[in-house]
């Protein structure tokens, strides 16, 4: 019984808004509603990184939210996929170049699927998630190297201490 | 035999006098050897004695007792004048007047003054062993108090003559002697509560004094009624012999009132709660393990006479209410010792209730509770003292770092709480049997039985919640360090704690053996009917009560062992991650929840009073 | 005995069915029936991550002790022991939650402790009422009684129905696991296979509660099945249609309404 095949049957979602305008967030929540109903794929919106597999991020990374984004990313156990929802999360969208935004989230965490649209539609989001599930099945349980985490996870005796790996990040822009 | 018993009376007094004179270096070995000696004597006496022993003392001792009585009451009066407390003065005057009247009108004694039966031997065991351990503990504890070196010697000396008085209390038959020793324990309590001499201590010691004096007054009134109705000498044996007489209920009721006061049942619970300002060995010794155990002791002595009388029903109703009320009251307390005090009151209520029901099984339950509660509570109080002296913690809301800075103490306190709570520890079995045997009561007094069962089971649940709340504070740890380093507190503290832990473990593991050889013989002697312990397959039958052994053993493995193991378990090869704080990096320190009952108190009070009145009415029907 | 061993499986099926019914009530399709088992396997495949060992260990022991409590109930053991064991297994979970320094865990633990205060008294009164009717505390006596206990304890059954949402953490009494407020409360810091222990414990809770409901049916299997089906639909309908109340309101409601109902029933039983 290949356990990996069960990853796509029960993906749990964590949704994080990294500073966006809420348009994409509303569309994500619409996915859970009766019209689009992603629960038929077994997806639950957990609020908790420790129990989720898929990180759905909306909004461009602002200076305020970059540390929190990385911290939450670090708390999700492997295997995990990150989906950047919307133009802002992918490249910065309409906010690209603003003094407080830093462009897409791939400056800080590795992204697996980019879903485009400014106000992505629920159909696009579902499509993106389904593609991410295919990627999820191929992932291993090793810690992925995050683009901008400064600290390594400490190896203590026989365990990995990842409590502080998100303490310092290398900012993309000062 | 008699010489050994007399040793138990005389040795502590001698040591107490010696402790006032010898230098500190000699005091330590003296205390340790005395503790060992007293424990050894009581163990030997228990194992080796059958039957009931009566013995008397020469006539001049009678006079000494009378004189001592009067001096004591005059001393109380003097305290009243010195501290300007009119109520203590009033009580002392009433007691003195009553005593003098009785001395005048009482006929001469014909019966022997002391009776030592299995119940007394059982109490000897409890008193001497636990007091010995606590005395050793106080050697170190009192060193760290801020007072003159003479007062430190005075403290140790008071503890020892208190031990002597307790030994005397449980072996007196004559009620006048009993009155003297009862008042002497009140004196000890008064002196020790006021030891620290600050304003709160003095006030609380006076409260303890006058409330216990009411108990003394009740005993005097009981003696008066015995003579008035011509039952012969005022002794316990006589009361039991005349159990079928018509007006015997009045002396019994008065003695029960004395017991209820000594056991700090409501409405007399204020003195025990206030007594927690005393140094911790005092709280451990007087107010949880020994002195307040006089309350169930009296009821146990009188239980053949009390059984199935309206007095017993009122006692059952009252203590049922106290059990659940004290448990709920404890939820809102923050001071650690006060939480322990509330829990003591609740368990005392249960012990008294069991003794008042009077069937062989409930007597066994009461005895089990007395013993195990004594061990567990003294262990908890001793650790409260360690918390106070070594960690400087009094409020339980400050204890949230204890899991890291003092893991050994946290572990011991956890074990202590669990021993009051979980199977198969004795206190749980005691509670268990109380519920089962109340079923027996419920067949003829249905409503009372049903209400009491609900109160006992509900109170048990509330107490569990309380203990888990405090345990939760002790277990909090950051994930930073996974290894546990046990802290070092001095040898006296550690050794006494280990001794009590060892006692607890031995009694738990040996519970079937203890039931057969220890509790049931005592119960048999009290009730006069044989109580037998029968084992069939995986179930133990005690009388008609079933103890399913297999679930209990598995529950033991699951629950207490889990708690202890949780401290030592280490998951290897597993990542350690941070707690979820929505991505924030701040570290929060969080305390436990306080069921602040301020606004709910009038609500509780009315509900409580209604319940209580209903119980009394039902009991008297 | 087989029932005890298969209890997690049965509980999982019940939970899966519940999610489908919930979805249908909301005019959605809902996950497949075996979804809880897919969740199980997926969680087994995650990288293991804990906050510290005591927390994870206590979580696992919560599951084991709840299974044990269920076992004792299904084997017909003493009801007070069963209630006590269930209380203790919840207490293990509470202790696990207290042992981390996470706010949500602590708040969840506090609220779970309060909800214990809300449902424990009613269960105890039900146990005592069963004693008054059958003469013994054993669940076996209730399961085998000739006349279903339901007819003599209707008010107690209603009280049980009012108290089950608190136990199972369903609206309107799910304040202990308020997902939007506390992100799961006590379950927060568990992940991967350790979370699986808590998740499966929830399934066992379903079996436990339905077994309690079955107590009222005595010997009559049809009545028992009917009661269980009724309770199932009642719980889901209640869950879907009510909003969450605060813990004070929950406590007040439970102690005034449910407790009084059960108490009146007890008095009636002891007078007859």
pLDDT digits (tens, 9 = 90+) for B315-366: 888 888 888 888 888 877 778 888 889 889 988 888 888 888 877 777 877 8
Most B CBs within 10 A among C54, C102, C185, C191, hence the mutation to make, goes to: C54
Contacts of B577 in chain C (CB under 8 A): 49-51, 191
- DSSP 3-state assignment of A157? coil
Q: Are B393 and B401 in contact (CB under 8 A)?
A: no
Dist. CA B179–CA B68, nearest whole Å: 11
Using DSSP bridges, classify how beta strands A81-85 and A154-156 pair: parallel, antiparallel or unpaired.
Answer: unpaired
Query: Distance (Å) from the C-alpha of residue C209 to the closest C-alpha of chain A?
Result: 25
Fold of A9-143: Rossmann fold (3.40.50)
Cα separations in angstroms, C166 against C95, C117, C149? 19, 10, 23
> What does the pLDDT look like over C124-146, one tens digit per residue?
888 888 877 877 777 887 888 77
CB spacing of C117 vs B563 below 8 angstroms? no
Partners of residue B565 in chain C, C-beta under 8 Å:
57
Give the list of residues 6+ apart from residue A117 with CB closer than 8 angstroms, or none: A24, A86, A87, A124
Mean pLDDT of B198-221: 88
Rounded-to-integer distance, Cα C153 and Cα C216, Å? 8
- Considering only CB atoms, which chain C residues are within 8 Å of A9? 35, 38, 41-42
Between B492 and B192, residue with greater pLDDT? B192
Beta-sheet strand order (sheet of B575-576) = A154-156, A159-161, B575-576, C49-50
| Binary contact (C46, A79; C-beta < 8 A) | yes
C42, C184, C191: residue with CB nearest A6: C42
- Chain B CB contacts of A75 under 8 Å are 577-578, 580
**Residue range B6-30: mean pLDDT, rounded:** 82
pLDDT of residue B464: 80
Q: Which two tokens stand for residue B304?
A: 């053949």
> Comparing C-alpha atoms, which of B601, A33, B447, B457 is closest to residue C271?
B447
Of B453, B554, B571, the CB nearest to C128: B453
The pLDDT score that the predictor gives to residue B598 is: 47
At residue C23, the pLDDT reads 86
Sort out which chain B residues have CB atoms less than 8 A from C48's CB and list them. 571, 573-575
Q: Is B613 helix (H, G, I), strand (E, B) or coil?
A: helix
On chain B, the residues whose CB falls within 8 A of the CB of A156 are 576
Between residues B526 and B13, the one the model is more confident about: B13
Torsion angle, CA of B489/B492/B494/B495, rounded to 10 degrees? 160
Chain-centroid distance of CA C132 in Å reads 24
Query: Does A68 contact B573 at a Cβ distance shorter than 8 Å?
Result: no
Chain A touching partners, 3 or more CB pairs below 8 A: B, C
C35 interfaces chain A, CB cutoff of 8 Å = yes
Average pLDDT over residues B98-103: 82
Q: Do A157 and B572 touch (CB under 8 A)?
A: yes
pLDDT on residue B241: 76
> Residue A15 is inside which H or E element, if any?
strand A12-17
Enumerate the residues of chain B whose CB falls inside 8 A of the CB of residue A164. Answer: 578
CA distance C220 to chain B (A): 27
pLDDT in tens, B452-485: 777 777 787 788 888 888 888 787 776 666 666 7
Kindly determine whether residue A163 and residue B480, on different chains, have CB atoms separated by under 8 Å.
yes
Q: Do A50 and C191 touch (CB under 8 A)?
A: yes
Nearest CA in chain B to A75: B577
CA distance C38 to chain B (A): 23
Q: How many residues does chain C have?
A: 272
Q: What is the pLDDT of residue B606?
A: 64
The beta-carbon neighbor of A162 closest among B576, B580, B585 is: B576
Q: At what angle do helices B118-143 and B520-527 cross, to 10 degrees?
A: 130
Up-side HSE of residue C166: CA atoms within 13 Å toward CB? 31
Q: Using CA atoms, how far apart are residues B284 and B341, in angstroms rounded to an integer?
A: 10
Q: pTM for this structure?
A: 0.86
How far B483 CA lies from chain A's nearest CA (Å)?
11
Chain A residues with beta carbon closer than 8 angstroms to that of B574: 159
Q: Chain B, 325-384: which have a CB under 8 Å from a chain C CB?
A: none
| pLDDT-flagged residues of chain C (< 70) | 180, 272
Does the beta carbon of C223 lie under 8 angstroms from any beta carbon of chain B? no
Which of A6, A37, A48 comes nearest C45 by C-beta?
A6
Q: Which chains touch B (3 or more CB pairs under 8 A)?
A: A, C
Q: Where are the domains of chain A?
A: 9-143
pLDDT at A128: 92
Output the pLDDT for position A83.
93
**Average of pLDDT values for B105-128?**
78
The DSSP code sequence of B197-257 is -SHHHHHHHHHHHHHHHHHHHHHHHHHHHHHHTT-SS-BHHHHHHTTTSGGGHHHHHHHHH
Residue from B578, B571, A163 nearest C53 by CA: B571
CB-nearest partner of B585 from A156, A162, A167: A167
Question: Measured between beta carbons, which residues in chain B are less than 8 angstroms from residue C101?
Answer: 476-478, 579, 587-590
- Average predicted confidence (pLDDT) for chain B: 79
CB atoms within 10 A of CB C185: 25
C80 to each of B308, B457, B458, C37, C72, how far by Cα in Å? 26, 8, 11, 32, 11
Q: What element of type H or E holds B53?
A: strand B53-55
* C39, C42, C96, C182, best to mutate vs chain A, most A CBs in 10 Å: C42
Interchain CB distance below 8 Å, A42 and C45: no
pLDDT at A113 (0 to 100) = 93
Does a cis peptide bond (omega within 30 degrees of 0) precede residue A79? yes
Q: Where are the beta strands (DSSP E) in B424-569?
A: 533-536, 539-542, 545-548
Distance CA A12, CA A46 (A): 7
DSSP C257: I
pLDDT digits (tens, 9 = 90+) for C13-43: 888 888 888 888 888 888 888 888 888 888 8
Closest CB from A48, A69, A161 relative to B576: A161
Burial A117-149 (b: 16+ CB within 10 A, else e): beebebeebbebbeebbeebeebeeebeebbeb
Instruction: Search chain A and give the residue with CA nearest B574.
Output: A159
Residues lower than pLDDT 70 in chain A:
1, 144-158, 166, 168, 171-174
Q: What percent of chain B has pLDDT over 70?
A: 84
Nearest neighbour of A75 by CB, restricted to B480, B571, B578: B578
Enumerate the residues of chain B whose CB falls inside 8 A of the CB of residue A77.
575, 577
Which of C54, C102, C114 is the closest to B581 by Cβ? C102
Cross-chain residue pair C31–A47, CB shorter than 8 Å:
no
| C188, B580 Cβ separation under 8 angstroms | yes
**Residues in chain A whose Cβ is within 8 Å of chain C:** 1, 3-4, 6-7, 9-11, 34, 37, 39-42, 46-48, 50-51, 53, 77-79, 141, 162
Average pLDDT, chain A: 83
**What local confidence, expressed as pLDDT, does residue B436 receive?**
60
Q: How far is B51 from chain C (nearest CA, A)?
A: 37
ipTM score of complex: 0.84
State the smallest CA–CA distance between residue C197 and chain A in angstroms.
13
CB contacts, 8 Å: C19 with chain A:
39
Q: CB-based contact (8 Å) between C128 and chain B?
A: yes
Among C151, C150, C152, C130, residue whose Cα is nearest residue C141: C130
Is the pLDDT confidence value at B597 over 60? no
Taking only residues 99 to 128 of chain A, the set having a beta carbon closer than 8 angstroms to any beta carbon of chain B reads: none
The kind and range of the H/E element at C264 are: helix C259-271
Query: Cα(B384)–Cα(B474) distance, rounded to whole angstroms?
Result: 13
Residue of A3, A34, A141 lying closest to C28 (CB–CB) = A34
Interface check for C77 against chain A (CB to CB < 8 A): the answer is no
């Amino acid at each position: 019984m290949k356990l990996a095949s069960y990853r796509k049957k029960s993906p749990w979602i964590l949704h994080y808004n990294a500073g966006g305008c809420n348009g994409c967030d509303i569309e994500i929540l619409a996915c859970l509603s009766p019209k689009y109903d992603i629960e038929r794929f077994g997806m639950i919106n957990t609020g908790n990184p420790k129990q989720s597999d898929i990180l759905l991020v909306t909004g461009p990374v602002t200076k305020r939210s970059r540390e929190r984004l990385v911290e939450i990313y670090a708390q999700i156990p492997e295997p995990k996929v990150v989906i950047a929802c919307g133009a802002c999360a992918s490249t910065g969208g309409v906010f690209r170049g603003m003094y407080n935004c830093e462009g897409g989230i791939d400056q800080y965490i590795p992204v697996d699927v980019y879903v485009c649209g400014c106000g992505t539609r629920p159909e696009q989001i579902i499509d993106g998630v389904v593609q991410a599930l295919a990627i999820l099945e191929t992932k291993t349980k090793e810690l992925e190297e995050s683009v901008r985490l400064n600290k390594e996870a400490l190896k203590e005796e026989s365990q990995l201490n990842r409590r502080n790996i998100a303490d310092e990040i290398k900012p993309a822009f000062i | 035999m008699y010489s050994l018993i007399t040793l138990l009376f005389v040795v502590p007094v001698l040591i107490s006098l010696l402790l006032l004179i010898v230098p500190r270096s000699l005091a330590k070995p003296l205390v340790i050897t005395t503790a060992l000696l007293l424990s050894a004597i009581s163990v030997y006496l228990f194992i080796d004695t059958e039957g009931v022993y009566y013995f008397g003392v020469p006539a001049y001792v009678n006079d000494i007792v009378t004189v001592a009585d009067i001096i004591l009451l005059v001393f109380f009066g003097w305290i009243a004048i010195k501290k300007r407390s009119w109520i203590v003065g009033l009580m002392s005057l009433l007691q003195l007047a009553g005593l003098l009247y009785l001395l005048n009108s009482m006929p001469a004694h014909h019966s022997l003054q002391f009776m030592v039966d299995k119940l007394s031997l059982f109490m000897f065991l409890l008193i001497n062993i636990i007091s010995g351990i606590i005395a050793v503990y106080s050697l170190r504890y009192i060193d760290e108090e801020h007072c003159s070196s003479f007062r430190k010697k005075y403290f140790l000396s008071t503890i020892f003559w208190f031990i002597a008085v307790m030994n005397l209390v449980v072996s007196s038959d004559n009620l006048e002697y009993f009155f003297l020793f009862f008042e002497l324990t009140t004196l000890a309590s008064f002196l020790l509560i006021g030891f620290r001499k600050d304003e709160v201590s003095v006030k609380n010691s006076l409260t303890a004094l006058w409330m216990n004096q009411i108990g003394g007054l009740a005993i005097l009134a009981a003696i008066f009624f015995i003579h008035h109705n011509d039952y012969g000498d005022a002794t316990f044996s006589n009361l039991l012999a005349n159990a079928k007489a018509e007006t015997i209920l009045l002396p019994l009721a008065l003695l029960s009132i004395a017991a209820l006061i000594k056991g700090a049942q409501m409405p007399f619970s204020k003195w025990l709660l206030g007594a927690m300002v005393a140094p911790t060995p005092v709280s451990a010794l007087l107010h949880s393990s020994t002195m307040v155990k006089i309350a169930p002791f009296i009821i146990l002595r009188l239980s053949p006479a009390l059984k199935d009388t309206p007095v017993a029903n009122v006692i059952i109703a009252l203590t049922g209410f106290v059990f659940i009320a004290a448990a709920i009251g404890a939820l809102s307390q923050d001071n650690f010792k006060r939480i322990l005090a509330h829990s003591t009151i609740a368990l005392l209520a249960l012990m008294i209730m069991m003794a008042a029901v009077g069937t062989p099984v409930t007597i066994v339950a009461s005895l089990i509770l007395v013993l195990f509660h004594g061990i567990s509570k003294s262990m908890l109080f001793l650790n409260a003292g360690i918390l106070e002296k070594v960690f400087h913690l009094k409020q339980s809301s400050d204890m949230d770092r204890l899991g890291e800075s003092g893991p050994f103490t946290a572990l011991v306190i956890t074990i202590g709480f669990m021993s009051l709570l979980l199977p198969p520890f004795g206190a749980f079995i005691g509670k268990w049997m109380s519920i089962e045997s109340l079923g027996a009561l419920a067949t003829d007094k249905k409503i009372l039985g049903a209400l009491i069962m609900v109160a006992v089971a509900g109170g048990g649940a509330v107490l569990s919640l309380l203990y888990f709340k405090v345990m939760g504070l002790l277990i909090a740890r950051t994930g930073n360090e996974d290894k546990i380093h046990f802290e070092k507190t001095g040898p006296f503290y550690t050794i006494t704690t280990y001794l009590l832990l060892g006692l607890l473990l031995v009694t738990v593991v040996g519970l079937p053996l203890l039931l057969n050889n220890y509790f049931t013989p005592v119960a048999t002697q009290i009730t006069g009917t044989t109580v037998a312990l029968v084992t069939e397959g995986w179930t133990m039958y005690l009388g008609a009560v079933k103890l399913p052994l297999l679930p209990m053993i598995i529950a033991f493995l699951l629950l207490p062992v889990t708690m202890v193991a949780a401290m030592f378990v280490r998951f290897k090869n597993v990542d350690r991650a941070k707690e979820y704080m929505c991505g924030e990096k701040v570290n929060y320190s969080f305390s436990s929840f306080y069921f602040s009952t301020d606004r709910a108190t009038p609500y509780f009070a009315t509900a409580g009073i209604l319940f209580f009145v209903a119980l009394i009415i039902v009991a008297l029907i | 005995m087989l029932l005890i061993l298969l209890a997690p499986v049965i509980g999982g099926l019940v939970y899966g069915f519940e999610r489908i019914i919930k979805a249908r009530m909301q005019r959605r399709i809902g996950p497949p029936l075996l979804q809880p088992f897919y969740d199980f396997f997926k969680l087994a495949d995650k990288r293991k991550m804990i906050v510290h060992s005591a927390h994870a260990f206590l979580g696992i022991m919560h599951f084991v002790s709840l299974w044990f409590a269920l076992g004792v109930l299904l084997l017909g053991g003493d009801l007070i022991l069963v209630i006590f064991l269930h209380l203790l297994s919840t207490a293990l979970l509470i202790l696990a939650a207290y042992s981390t320094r996470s706010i949500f865990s602590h708040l969840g633990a506090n609220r779970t402790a309060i909800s214990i205060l809300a449902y424990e008294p009613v269960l105890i009164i039900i146990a005592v009422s069963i004693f008054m009717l059958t003469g013994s505390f054993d669940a076996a006596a209730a399961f085998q009684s000739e006349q279903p206990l339901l007819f003599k304890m209707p008010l107690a059954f209603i009280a049980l129905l009012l108290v089950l949402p608190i136990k199972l953490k369903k609206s309107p009494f799910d304040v202990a696991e308020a997902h939007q407020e506390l992100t799961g409360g006590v379950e927060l810091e568990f992940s991967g296979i350790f979370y699986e222990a808590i998740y499966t414990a929830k399934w066992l809770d379903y079996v436990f509660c339905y077994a309690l409901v079955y107590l009222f049916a005595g010997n009559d299997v049809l009545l028992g099945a009917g009661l269980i089906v009724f309770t199932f639909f009642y719980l889901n309908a209640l869950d879907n249609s009510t909003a969450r109340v605060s813990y004070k309101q929950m406590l007040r409601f439970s102690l005034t309404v449910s407790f009084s109902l059960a108490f009146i029933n007890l008095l009636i039983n002891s007078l007859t």
